[in-house]
Amino acid sequence: MTERNRTMMQFFEWHLANDGDHWNRLAMLAPELKKHGIDSVWIPPAAKAITQADNGYGIYDGYDLGEFDQKGTVRTKYGTKDELLKGIDACHEEGISVYADVVMNHKAGADETEIFHVIEVHPDNRYEEISDPFEIEGWTRFHFPGRQGEYSAFTWHFYHFNGTDYNDAEDETGVYRILGDHKHWNEQVDDEFGNYDYLMFANIDYYHPEVRDEMMYWGKWFAETTRADGYRLDAIKHINHEFIADFVAEMREEFGDDFYLVGEFWNPDLEACQNYLDIVDYQIDLFDVPLHYNFHEASHAGRDYDLSRIFENTLVGTHPDHAVTFVDNHDSQPHEALESWVEDWFKPLAYALILLRLDGFPCVFYGDYVGINGDHPIAGKKELLDPLMDARYRYAYGEQHDYFDHGNTIGWVRLGDLDIPGSGCAVVLSNGDDGHKEMFTGEHRAGEVWTDMTGNIPDAVHIDSEGYGDFPVIGGTVSVFIKQD
């Protein structure tokens, strides 16, 4: 029996309201998401952060999921621990898997300062030392007074980190490498800035055996406590790659081969992504950042972009079984650190390219679906994305025939699967003028009438005696044709 297509949703965007109601929204929307074929959600970091308004990436205490009075709040930005668990339960009741965003690169908001020795390094080349050794007063002492040892008695000191960015004694910022016996930057990281081990806050040192043991323990505790079905691993190009490989192996040993892991390796270079998959022995998936940048470029270039080459130099093109395809996410949205927003006109085309094809594991962005809040709000596109999500769930099955033979108008046909009645679809899109594609739907389709479920094309297409149909498209849009009725 053919399984239905998998579709993930990133269930947050950067500017969600700090109302503590997001886990409740997850529980409320779970049935609606399932109806449109969403069978997994990636939720934002659930642990207590440096402030209540923080999105969770400024992580303070991984064991506080909105349960303890710490950092001036019990709940996180998203709600309480009880609400989190109820939201996950609601997803499970609908058959939706939940993937938790785990932040393991750094810690923020220490409880006390400590005095220790550092060397300041050049921010653009972390191997270049620009000072002699000297003392600083840094925020590196974490003992979590509000939790008082519940779940874990581990406390953090400066020697559990290898870098920080603030000297409290002098009120100065910089990139400071912490000194100590056998202490240096982790080598198994991205080579941007010479060595990109250090990203922000107090940088966790994965060469320290106590740190490795504690983070392995926490990874198991979090999944057992929340009943999460997998992890989205944040900022993995900054974390010792060997530790990530070991972490993945331990999570799989503990929770089984179905425990899903996908990594955020934000690098548009395909070779770098391929090398990372080699390092972790293909035990995780990666977000297809190169494809995202192709979408970004295509959306700004308009008709000058050659759509027939949209999948060149992408992870889904070379490693489709390990590619999580996406259009935008919380980092790429406007006014954020990695802003590379795909223009609105191209969004339906890009989503068709990830949702309706054979390869890749597509992820729909909450900001595209529901909308973006904040000072620069953007309306959601639910009415545009629902038909594409429905088409993936109901029709986009079977053998795929591509018609990537024109720079502005491309198409493909999914021939359907006998196990899924009514399946099969024809997709055509254009970034230039109005166009059309004559495409083969199968000899058994002769005489059928196909209609555009997006509503862009009002006229039906009649399949000829040999199984071909001539499928039109309006310039700058996408149409998805399915058998009438």
Do both 82 and 216 map to the same domain?
yes
The mean predicted confidence, pLDDT, of the chain is: 97
Do both 202 and 273 map to the same domain?
no
pLDDT at res. 2: 82
Residues of the chain with pLDDT > 90, as a percent, come to: 99
Do both 111 and 259 map to the same domain?
no
Task: Quote the distance between the C-alpha of residue 443 and its chain's center.
Answer: 40
Do both 124 and 177 map to the same domain?
yes
State mean pLDDT over 378-404.
Answer: 97
Quote the number of domains for the chain.
3
Q: Which residues are catalytic?
A: 234, 264
Do both 46 and 130 map to the same domain?
no
SS3 395: coil
Q: Identify the CATH number of the domain in which residue 408 sits.
A: 2.60.40.1180
- Is 373 marked as a binding-site residue? no
What end-to-end distance do the CA atoms of the chain give, in Å?
23
- pLDDT tens digit string along 406-462? 999 999 999 999 999 999 999 999 999 999 999 999 999 999 999 999 999 999 999
Strand extents, DSSP E, 186-254? 202-204, 230-233
Do both 455 and 479 map to the same domain?
yes
Do both 163 and 250 map to the same domain?
no
pLDDT at res. 182: 87
pLDDT at res. 326: 98
Q: Identify the CATH number of the domain in which residue 90 sits.
A: 3.20.20.80
Strand order in the sheet with 425-430: 400-403, 409-414, 425-430, 478-483, 449-452, 461-462
Do both 285 and 359 map to the same domain?
yes
How many whole angstroms separate alpha carbon 101 and alpha carbon 439? 42
- pLDDT tens digit string along 46-83? 999 999 999 999 999 999 999 999 999 999 999 999 99
How many whole angstroms separate alpha carbon 297 and alpha carbon 305? 8
- Is 405 marked as a binding-site residue? no
Environment class of residue 101 by beta-carbon count within 10 Å: exposed (0-12), middle (13-18) or buried (19+)? Answer: buried
Is 90 part of a structural domain of the chain? yes
Q: Which residues contact 384 (CB under 8 A, 6 or more apart)?
A: 347, 348, 454
User: Could you tell me the pLDDT band of residue 298, with boundaries at 50, 70 and 90?
Assistant: very high
Is 3 part of a structural domain of the chain? no
- Is 205 marked as a binding-site residue? yes
Domain boundary among 167, 188, 209: 209
- pLDDT tens digit string along 135-162? 999 999 999 999 999 999 999 999 999 9
Domain boundary among 394, 429, 464: 394
Do both 317 and 415 map to the same domain?
no
Do both 92 and 240 map to the same domain?
yes
What does the angle CA 296 – CA 38 – CA 245 come to, to the nearest 5 degrees?
70
Do both 177 and 247 map to the same domain?
no
Say if residues 364 and 392 touch (Cβ distance below 8 Å): no
- Is 165 marked as a binding-site residue? no
Domain boundary among 363, 394, 425: 394
Look up the domain containing 19 and give its range.
8-105+210-394
- Residue 1 confidence (pLDDT) above 80: no
